[in-house]
Amino acid sequence: MSEKRLGARSMVFAHAPSVAGTGTVAGKKEGEGPLGGTVDYLNEDTTFGETTWEKSESRMQTEALSRAAVKAGLGVEALELIFAGDLLNQCIGTTFGLRDCERPFFGLYGACSTMAEGLTLCAMAIDGGFAGRAAALVSSHFCSAERQYRMPLEYGGQRTPTAQWTVTGAAAMILSETGPGPYLTHAAVGRIVDAGIKDPANMGAAMAPAAHDTLSGFFADTGMGPADFDLIVTGDLGTLGADLLRDLFARDGVDLGPRYTDCGLLIYDREKQDVHAGGSGCACGALVLCGHILDGLRHGAWNRVLFCGTGALLSPVSSAQGESIPSICHLAAFSR
C-alpha cells in the first residue's frame, strides 16, 4: 500500500493542495450573526432573486462558485473537476446550480458532511495527478429544507429545544496543486455510525458518535492527538452534540479542551438569534470554514485546523418507517 494511506481510513497528501480561493453567500439571518462580516455576498430577502426556494438555493451555488473563481484569479472554466452536493431530494440545488457551467462534475450526497467529503475528493484528485484545480461546493437553504424535511413555513410549527436551524447559504473552495496555502494536508474518510437515535429533531446526538469515530480513528491512524491542532471544529453538532462529543472523548481519557468548538455554535448568536441548539445544514460548516477559519489560518490565528464535516444520513421516509439515524463524519486537516 502507498505511503499516502495511513491506517484504516486516513490519508496524507504528498503534495498538499493549496486553497486558491473561496466564495461564500448567505441570507439575512446569517448576515446578522457574529460571522456575517466574513460572507462575500448577503441577500436580504434570501430569495436571491428567484421565484422558488429551490431555485434560490441553486442561485446561491452559482454565485458561490463564481465568486470563488474570481478570488482565485480564475474563470470557472479553469476548474478541471467540481465536487458538489446539497440536502434537497436528488440534489437539485446542485444540479440546477451547475447546469450552465460546463465543467466536469461529480455529484455527492453526504448530507451536512458534503463539504468535507468534497474537499477530500478534490485533494485526492489533485494529489493523485488527475486535476490541477478542483472545487468543492455545497448549499443549504432554511426554507427549502423546512418544506422538505419538516413543515411548510406557513404552518409555523413549534421547534423543540434540541432542534437546529438550517443555515441559508452556499460555499465553494477551490484547491490548486500549487499555491501559497493554506494547505489541505490530511483527510480521514468517515464510516457510517448509528447509535440508535431516532429523533430527527436531535441530530446533534445522532451525529456526535460519528464525529467521535472519525476523529479518534484519525488520531490512531496518524499518531497525532488534539494537542497537535490549534482548532478542532465539527460542522453542525450544535450545543447538545458538541457536549456529547466532549463527553465521548472524556470517556477515552482525552480532553478536547478549548480548542474544540462547532460551526453551529459560531455562525449564530444563540443568545440573540432564535436558533435553539445552533446552526445546521451543508452550508453551516462550509461557510464557517471558507470564511472565518480560512481567514484565521491566513492571518496566523491558527496554524493547524481539523475540520470535521458531520452528516445525518436519514430521510423523512426512513424516520416515518421507524428507523434510527445513520450518521457520518469526514475530516480534512488544514495547515498555514
Residues that bind a copy of itself (CB under 8 A): 1-5, 8-9, 11, 52, 54-55, 80-81, 85, 87-92, 95-96, 98-99, 101-111, 117, 120-121, 124-125, 127-132, 189-192, 194, 313-318, 321, 323, 326, 328
- Shortest Å, Cβ 136 to a copy of itself: 13
Q: Which is nearer to a copy of itself, 33 or 217 (CB)?
A: 217
Q: Which is nearer to a copy of itself, 5 or 272 (CB)?
A: 5
Does residue 285 contact residue 309 with C-beta atoms inside 8 Å?
yes
Q: Which is nearer to a copy of itself, 147 or 292 (CB)?
A: 147
Q: Which is nearer to a copy of itself, 166 or 239 (CB)?
A: 166
Amino acid at 67: R
- Shortest Å, Cβ 326 to a copy of itself: 5
Does residue 21 contact residue 137 with C-beta atoms inside 8 Å?
no
- Shortest Å, Cβ 274 to a copy of itself: 26
Amino acid at 306: L
- Shortest Å, Cβ 145 to a copy of itself: 12
Q: Which is nearer to a copy of itself, 296 or 309 (CB)?
A: 309
- Shortest Å, Cβ 291 to a copy of itself: 25
Q: Which is nearer to a copy of itself, 267 or 331 (CB)?
A: 331
- Shortest Å, Cβ 75 to a copy of itself: 14
Does residue 239 contact residue 266 with C-beta atoms inside 8 Å?
no
Q: Tell me the β-bridge partners of 208.
A: none
* 63-96-135-164 Cα dihedral, nearest 10 degrees: 80
Q: Which residue has the cell 484519525?
A: 218
Give the integer Cα–Cα distance in Å for 183 and 122.
Answer: 12
Give the integer Cα–Cα distance in Å for 58 and 64.
Answer: 10
Does residue 123 contact residue 12 with C-beta atoms inside 8 Å?
no
